[in-house]
Each structure stands twice: as C-alpha cells, then as structure tokens.
Structure 1
C-alpha cells in the first residue's frame, strides 16, 4: 500500500475523501457482517436453529466487554484526529499509549467478572430452557478471546484516525475470513458443534490482533510510541472517558435491549420466537453495513477538519455523508421489503429427517420472520440523519450532545416502547417499536444538528 498521511484529511475534496474513507470502511464492515451472517447460516444448518438463539443470547455480554475497547478507541481517536489536525503529535502519541493501557486493564477485569457470573448472566439475557447449555459453551470460550477483540476494535479506530482506511479495512476482513474458514474445519469437518463455533470465532480475534500489532510496529503507522506514552495521564483519560462513554453507553443500552427482547419474546413464543429475533438481529448487523461504513468514513474527516478549524469542510462533510448514507439506506430498504421470506429461509436447515421439534421451530420462524423484518426495517431510509448527526458531535469532541443523541433511539424511545406496546399488541408491539423509535430519534437528531450548523459552523472562518 502506498504511504498515506493524515494531512490528506484536510486537503482533498470532501466527496472524493468521503468515498476513499467510506468504501474501505464499508467493505470491512460488509465482510464482518457477512461473517456474522454466514456464521449464523453455518450454525443454523450444521448445528440447529436453537444454536443461533444461543449465540444471540451470548452476543450482548461479549460485545459489551469488547465495546469497552471500541469506546476507548473512538474516544481516543477523536483526540488523535484533532491532535494531528492541530499538528500536536506528542498528544496523539500519549493518547494512543493511554488507550492501550486502559483497554488491557478494563477488559481483563471485565472478562474475569463475566466468567465468575456466567450462570447468572446467561439466563438473565434469555438463555433459558434448551438454549442454556449451548449458550454456556459458546460464552465461556468466546470470553477468553474478548480482550484481543477489544484491542482490535480500539486499534482499528486509531488506524482510521491516522487517515489509513485501507489498513483498517484489512484488519476487519482478516478475522471474518479466518472465522469462516475455522467454522468449516471445526464444525463441518471435526464436528465440534458449539465448541467449534466458539473456537472459530476466537481464532478470528487472534488473527486480527496479530495484523493490527504488525501495522503499528511497521513503518505504515505515524504513531511510534515509547514506554513513557503508556503511563496513564489524568487529563487524557478524562477526555477519552467523556467521549468514549458515548460508545460504551450505546453498547450498554444495546445489551439491555437484547436482555429485554430475548426475555419478552421468550415469554411470547418460547425458543422459536428468540430464534426469529436472532435472525432479525443478524440482518440489523448485515444489511446496514454501507450506512455504517459512511458513518465510519465521516468521523476522521469531521474530527481532523474541526481540529484544523476548517469549519466549511466540516459542514460540507455532514451534508455529503447524509446524502450518501441516505441513498444506500434506501437501496437496503427495498431489498428487505421484497425478499424477507427468502432471507429468513437461509438460516434454517434443509436437511432431510430433521427432529420434529426442530421442524416445528423452523416452521414457526418462517411464518413469523417476514412481517417482523418488514416492520423492523420500515424506517430505514431516514436513519442516515440520525447516525451522521450523532457521529458529528462525537467526532468534534462534544460529549454531552453526542451521548444524548446516541441514547435517544434505544434508551429514550425504544426501551420504553418494547416495555409498553407488547402488553397491548403482543408480538406486533415488539416489532412496531423499531420504526417508531427510528422516526422519533431522527426528528430529535435533526433538530440538534440544524441548530449546531446554524450557530456553530455557519459564518465561522478558518
């Protein structure tokens, strides 16, 4: 790869720059999302639909611990982007060193706690009945690899902050390809069942960590840290914490959402209903990959130019990112509205002579998934404004509005809706909560963003 420096973030045309940042990010997220999707298809076909539900139960716990790394990464990367934009390289180096130290300390403690409370956490997140045993197997093995995943997620955001999206893309592709390869070997060839699925995922984390370590030790990275940079600095930790808390709060609310959804749906329809949500959850990760890619590409551009006081470029990047993200979100919406049944059937085994219980589960899932998918994704075309708006405040270091807007959809609207509507509308109330929350959150974000552009960015001169 050709040598690239962060200076390009402040010089190239915004449209071209956003494509250069967003396309690799989208490809990386696509491969990661495909990994989750194909992994679920493999598990559903080679182990069974209950196994998909078991993985869905484990994800919020392991993802929350891994999200600590992402929170530290995004919080610190906002500082790194602005420091590089202001030509303050020493602060960028010190921030990166603190990110590494903090990620290791926090995730190791959380993994220890997660293993200690394993028998309490799994049922709490919906791992009941026949789901518990496979969920415990998967959870225990996955947790050993989570610190490496956290370091990968932290390091990946720093690579983007340096303005090197292609390397970040490769870092996202490696664990996905590795996981799918190990899935085939461990599940299909060795017939290790849930053990195989868990070890395949953990092996992918280790591969990713190896690549990111190589990147920062090689000449490709501008951030060459020494031992002195690992010492924790209170002012940097406070800034990382205030900005990273936005990401952590979002993942915490996501984990609470999984807890509530799995338990509400289990009460409404048992393990089969949890399997329906597991498929919907996979599509929420996969289908929106280009929108998330545009958001990831937008972050370093906005942060760097804000740090360089190029407010005209910041404003242009907001408009361009919303336009691109809205376009791809609409395309995703059309596909999901037209082919929901075909998508759901991909996750279910078509082996002959399936046990009666699994046949009944598969029939239930096929009957309930299409309507659920259409309702969950009904407001997809408008979510670009919501995602880019919240990302802007995080990119420029404004922690409070970033936190509030990040929590708006799931925390302020979605959770109250899923606690209320199912009491009157049953299963339909669960699925309707998604588009209602999207519409309300987008309206709130739009008001905040328009006010910010008019009062903070318009009329300011670099």
Structure 2
C-alpha cells in the first residue's frame, strides 16, 4: 500500500524535471528560495527605478508635468492592484497543482487567467477613458494641470491591457520557478523605457505624452517576450486556447486567492490618500515629511515582498505535493530572512533618521518634522517581515479567509479608523500614532497566525510519521 500523496509526488517529480530553469524539488530549500527570490527582488527594484527615471525626465518639463504624473499615480496603483490580484491567485493555483502532479489543471488555470486578463484590461481602460476628466478631478487635478494629466493618463491607459498581461505572465513564470526570465523581461522593459524617454519627450517634442508612450512601448516589448516564452515552451506550464474553460470552479479559485491582494492594493492607495489629507491640515512641511517616511517604508518593503513572491512557488508546490516537512523548512527560512531584514531596516531608520532625512531636504523646519515621522513610521516595522510571510503562507496554502484577515489589517480595518479619529484628538502626533498603532496591531496579529500555522504543520508532520510507521 502506498502513502497518500506519494504517487502524486512522483508525478510531480517527473513533471518538474522538465523545467529548464530551477527545479522546485531541489532538496536545498534555502539555496532554492534565494535563487528564486533574488531575481524577484531585483525585478521589483527595477520597477521602482523605472518610476524614478521617468520622474527625472518629466521633471525637466516643469512643475505642472510633475504634478500631472503625481495626480495619475493613485490611478496606476489601483490598476496595478487588479493585476497583482489576478497574478497572485494564478500563482497560488499553478504552484499547488504542479506540486500535486496535476500539470493539466495548472495549464488550464494559467490559460484561463491570461484569457480573462485581456477583457478585464480592455473593459477597465474603456471605462476610465470615458470618464477620465472626472476621475482626475476627483484625484485632485486642478484646471492648470488637467491638460497635461489628461495627455499622460490617456496615453498610459492604452497600455494597461499589456501591463496586465505582463503581470499575470510574470506570476505564472515565477510560480513554476522561472524567476530569472521574469527578471530579465523587467530589466529589458526598463532599459527600453529609459532609452525612449529622452527621445520621445525631447527629441520628438512629444512632452509628457512621450513619457507615457515610452512606457507603453516598453510594455509592448515585454509582452512580445512573454509570448515567445509560452510559444517556445521555455517553462513547464503550457498556455493554449483549448485549455480555456470557465467550468470546474477555476474562476472562483483564482478570484478567492487574488481578491485579498487586489483589495490590499486598493487599501494601500486609500491609505496614502488619507495620510496626505490628514497631514495637509498641518501644513506643507507635514505633507512632505509623511511623503519621505512613506517612501522609506516602500523601500524597506520591496526586498521582503520580492523574497516572499519568489518563495511562493516553493511553498505552494510543496503544499500541493503534501510534503509538509519541506513546507516547514521553507517557511522557517523565509521568516528568518524577512524578520532579520525588517528589524535591521527599522533600526537603521530609527537610529540614523536625521542623516537619512537630510538626503531629501535641507529645510530645518521640515527636517525636524520628518525625523519624528520616520521614527514613528518605522518603530514597529520589524514586524512587517512576519506580516508578509504569514500572508504568503496563507495564499500558498489556499486559505482565503484567513489571508484576507491578515492582509486587510495593516492598511485597512486597523489603520483607517485610527487615521480618521486620532489626528482630530492629538493633532499631528495622532497621525504618527495611527501609523505606529496599525503596524503594531497587524504585526501582533501576524505573529499569532503564523504560530498557529507552524503548529498545524507540526501536527500534519506527526500524523504523516504515524501513517508511515503504521504501513511499514
């Protein structure tokens, strides 16, 4: 008599051996995770650098151009959240089915996700273009910057469907362990964007529309690379029209795992808006201080996000293969790296807040406000590593509701009431307490959840060992 999951695992081993990049059955969990995570970290950093380079070139067009891009930024964040939701749901579905040896179901899930991404992208693009002026006005677009904002956002929206397809394709590639291809695709798109920016903006005199057009052409090039990836079958997953079916609850599974990620992205945009509005009543220096602290938080979060995104394939694959010992080893390694980094980053910002703030501004008044803001925002950032590892584990295991509870805490049901209430009681100090309290509360919740998850894994290992002894 064979053990449950053993036949599935043997199928998974045969299937995974076809992968050309990194075997998800590599016995060295720590080295495997780092090989998968490092390209993800680089890719996320490249994406942030792309936004930075765009801002440099657009800044040469004047203050109105910068303002126009800033007004469109929340719109980009919201649209990106849709892609992240579809991508994370797809990655969890694909990796778990690959681990279970069900490569056909993984193929169907990936094919369905890409087929759904296109009409979703076109529908959102059409809806936003139809009411774009009203949307930009709602985001704070004044009459003086509205023409530039319309030029930039309308051109950028035409590339949104491509961006959505690229994001989902990248998650599929990473779910099967091919993080390097995703990384090089993002690097290629960044290099092309940086090359085209000065040509289109200045040489061809397209102005701010040229910046958006450069991003569109970069996304088009990335789409071409992913088409080549799937057509040439460079990975394990096969994407075919014949695999696209709406039955068997696949859409529900993809949406259930991806929805919390999408809502979390929306909450992130909302949190930034609420922070800015709360800070605005205390003056421009306060707004600038909050902006510096929030940017530092993003810089600290990116490596942890890259680590977890790269590791999700290992967790999901091992969970699907019912290899709970491997799941435990992978989760412990992720947690140790994430916590070590988040604690170190938190300590560095808190201790060296003054010299760090000086990199952004020489204003004495703003510097003093920014120092206290950075310290309070990062006081409990050491817990962020626990939060993101917990969320990634739950997504990889397909635990939808618990994933939503942890995901929505930090910038949702803990932060929103605090930022709406505390500044009216304690002024700017209340704003700082709001962020710190939400970070602490979400971190403690994540600690509780992750301890329970490790307890459940230990129980599964004990049950598996007993089954082995009973059948030997």
TM range (shorter): 0.7 to 0.9
1:349-391 CA distance string (max 9 Å, x none): x9xxxxxxxxxxx898667544433332332222100110011
Moved more, 167-176 or 401-410: 167-176
**Corresponding residue of 1:298:** 311
Instruction: Please give the residue correspondences for 1:5-404 in structure 2 after superposition, counting only pairs within 5 Å.
Output: 8-44=23-59, 46-48=60-62, 51-128=65-142, 132-187=146-201, 192-269=206-283, 277-337=290-350, 368-404=369-405
Shift in Å, 1:441:
0.2
- What is the alpha-carbon distance in structure 1 between the residues aligned to residue 146 and residue 288 of structure 2? 14
Indicate if the aligned counterparts of 1:81 and 1:303 stay in contact, CA closer than 8 A.
Answer: yes
- What is the alpha-carbon distance in structure 1 between the residues aligned to residue 100 and residue 141 of structure 2? 49
Structure 2 residue 456 is matched with structure 1 residue 443: no
Moved more, 107-116 or 152-161: 107-116
Structure 2 unmatched runs, 5+: 1-16, 466-472
Structure 1 unmatched runs, 5+: 351-361
Residues 205 and 324 of structure 1, relative CA distance in 2, 3 Å threshold? same
Indicate if the aligned counterparts of 2:19 and 2:235 stay in contact, CA closer than 8 A.
Answer: no
**Corresponding residue of 1:452:** 453
Q: 3-state SS of the aligned residue for 1:9?
A: coil
- What is the alpha-carbon distance in structure 2 between the residues aligned to residue 183 and residue 142 of structure 1? 13
Shift in Å, 1:5:
5.1
| TM-score (norm. length: structure 1) | 0.87
Shift in Å, 1:100:
1.0
**Corresponding residue of 1:356:** none
Indicate if the aligned counterparts of 1:69 and 1:107 stay in contact, CA closer than 8 A.
Answer: no
Shift in Å, 1:434:
2.3
1:196-250 CA distance string (max 9 Å, x none): 3322333332222222222112231222233211233351111001111121111
Larger relative contact order (C-alpha < 8 A, sep ≥ 6)?
1
Shift in Å, 1:187:
4.1
- What is the alpha-carbon distance in structure 2 between the residues aligned to residue 133 and residue 342 of structure 1? 39
Residues 336 and 57 of structure 1, relative CA distance in 2, 3 Å threshold? farther
Indicate if the aligned counterparts of 1:310 and 1:461 stay in contact, CA closer than 8 A.
Answer: no
Residues 62 and 376 of structure 1, relative CA distance in 2, 3 Å threshold? same
Q: State the superposition RMSD in angstroms.
A: 3.0
- What is the alpha-carbon distance in structure 2 between the residues aligned to residue 147 and residue 450 of structure 1? 40
Residues 146 and 283 of structure 1, relative CA distance in 2, 3 Å threshold? farther
Indicate if the aligned counterparts of 1:414 and 1:434 stay in contact, CA closer than 8 A.
Answer: yes
Shift in Å, 1:333:
3.2
Number of equivalences: 447
**Corresponding residue of 1:461:** 464
Q: 3-state SS of the aligned residue for 1:231?
A: coil
Indicate if the aligned counterparts of 2:267 and 2:411 stay in contact, CA closer than 8 A.
Answer: yes
Indicate if the aligned counterparts of 2:20 and 2:234 stay in contact, CA closer than 8 A.
Answer: no
Q: 3-state SS of the aligned residue for 1:305?
A: helix
- What is the alpha-carbon distance in structure 1 between the residues aligned to residue 96 and residue 374 of structure 2? 40
Residues 412 and 336 of structure 1, relative CA distance in 2, 3 Å threshold? same
Larger radius of gyration, structure 1 or 2? 2
1:246-292 CA distance string (max 9 Å, x none): 2111112123223323433444436x765655554444433432211
- What is the alpha-carbon distance in structure 2 between the residues aligned to residue 86 and residue 445 of structure 1? 28
Residues 264 and 141 of structure 1, relative CA distance in 2, 3 Å threshold? farther
- What is the alpha-carbon distance in structure 2 between the residues aligned to residue 307 and residue 92 of structure 1? 11
Indicate if the aligned counterparts of 1:68 and 1:107 stay in contact, CA closer than 8 A.
Answer: no
Shift in Å, 1:24:
1.2
| TM-score (norm. length: structure 2) | 0.85
